[in-house]
């Protein structure tokens, strides 16, 4: 066995949503360093171009394609451009998410509910469906959905966001069961509190940070690049017998 070869992504094509910053950006760099051609996506073309340029300057292969995961048309464009550019899709990382509200669930109106579900659940499902025929054709594929510890047990004031992240876990298991016989694997990563723009309301709140980190076996907030190794494992042949798995990366928060 050649373990380095198992983690090698040479010849593979990966699409990552929400990859202009934070956790997604770290994963995009990791996949490119492991040899994959990487399609960096988020809503803003300028932001994804910046990350793609950095990857290319460091000797990797990447391009940036803007797509809002709440829009099926834009996701289709993302897939079409990827196929036109690289001719295949082997890895999808459904990482983009939204949470426009922080507070009691009673304050979540219908529009906000629909937005959260569209971006966090429907978009990942549609993107996986669009990629599936290409993965099936090669008899191999890896879908990685980025959920949250809130998807395992609801976090205070993150009610419908937590619901969406639970749905994403369930969706991953459904896909894993149905698409496994075609060689397509699906797994979930549930990060704990990671220092990114998304979670700023939490990590900039000292009482919350104190409470969380005091109780954590690894008593600190995580960094985005601490998610990249797990994603690389799940994207690569190193995890060839893993599907339907739910992997926490949370400093031990859920123990
Ligand atoms: N940070 C944490 O503590 C934490 C904990 C648990 C789970 N997570 C999960 O980890 C994932 C990444 O979060 P992060 O913390 O890395 O956030 P981040 O640093 O704020 O990055 C979010 C990324 O998503 C993009 N994005 C936002 N809305 C989008 C949309 N509708 N369509 C496409 N792209 C969109 C953003 O770029 P644009 O603005 O250019 O679109 C950006 O690239 C999310 O699924 C989040 O739920 C994070």
| Chain centroid offset of residue 86 CA | 21
**Ligand 1 atom 32: residue of nearest CA:** 68
- List active site positions: 161
pLDDT the model gives residue 215:
86
| Ligand 1 near 22 CB (within 6 A) | yes
Give tens-digit pLDDT for 111-125: 999 999 999 999 999
**79, 127 contact by CB (below 8 A):** yes
Q: Tell the residue nearest (CA) to atom 47 of ligand 1.
A: 97
CB of 194 closer than 6 angstroms to any ligand 1 atom? yes
* pLDDT mean across residues, the chain: 97
- For residue 201, the CA-to-ligand 1 centroid distance in Å is 14
Question: Tell me, what's the pLDDT at 211?
Answer: 86
Q: How far, in Å, is the centroid of ligand 1 from the Cα of 9?
A: 24
Cβ of 44 less than 6 Å from ligand 1: yes
Which residue has a Cα nearest atom 11 of ligand 1? 95
pLDDT digits (tens, 9 = 90+) for 40-82: 999 999 999 999 999 999 999 999 999 999 999 999 999 999 9
Asked if the model's pLDDT at residue 146 lies above 90, the reply is yes
Q: What's the confidence (pLDDT) of residue 242?
A: 98
Helix, strand, coil % in the chain, rounded to nearest 5:
50, 15, 30
pLDDT at 208: 86
Taking residues 238-249, report their average pLDDT: 98
Q: Is the pLDDT of residue 156 over 90?
A: no
CATH architecture of 3-191+227-248: 3-Layer(aba) Sandwich (3.40)
Task: Tell me the C-alpha to C-alpha distance, in Å, between residue 247 and each of 30, 103, 161, 191.
Answer: 18, 27, 19, 8
Please indicate, yes or no, whether the overall pTM of this predicted structure exceeds 0.85.
yes
| pLDDT tens by residue, 7-44 | 999 999 999 999 999 999 999 999 999 999 999 999 99
Give the H or E element holding residue 92.
strand 91-94
> Which of 40, 42, 44 to probe ligand 1 with, by most ligand atoms within 8 A of CB?
42
């Amino acid at each position: 066995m050649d373990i380095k070869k198992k983690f090698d992504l040479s010849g593979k094509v990966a699409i990552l949503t929400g990859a202009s910053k934070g956790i997604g950006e770290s994963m995009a760099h990791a996949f490119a360093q492991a040899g994959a051609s990487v399609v960096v996506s988020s809503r803003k073309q300028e932001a994804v171009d910046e990350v793609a340029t950095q990857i290319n300057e460091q000797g990797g292969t990447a391009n940036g394609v803007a797509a809002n995961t709440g829009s099926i048309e834009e996701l289709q464009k993302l897939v079409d451009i990827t196929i036109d550019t690289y001719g295949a899709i082997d890895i999808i990382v459904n990482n983009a998410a939204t949470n426009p509200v922080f507070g009691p669930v009673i304050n979540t109106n219908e529009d906000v509910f629909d937005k959260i579900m569209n971006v966090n659940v429907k978009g990942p499902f549609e993107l996986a469906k669009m990629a599936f025929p290409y993965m099936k054709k090669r008899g191999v594929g890896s879908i990685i959905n980025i959920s949250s510890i809130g998807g395992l047990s609801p976090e205070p004031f993150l009610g419908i966001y937590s619901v969406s992240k639970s749905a994403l876990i369930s969706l991953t298991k459904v896909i894993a069961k149905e698409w496994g016989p075609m060689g397509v694997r699906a797994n979930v990563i549930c990060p704990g509190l990671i220092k990114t723009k998304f979670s700023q309301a939490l990590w900039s709140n000292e009482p919350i940070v104190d409470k969380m980190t005091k109780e954590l076996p690894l008593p600190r907030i995580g960094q985005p690049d601490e998610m990249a190794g797990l994603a690389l494992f799940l994207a690569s042949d190193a995890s060839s017998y893993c599907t339907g798995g739910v992997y926490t990366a949370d400093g031990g928060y859920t123990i």
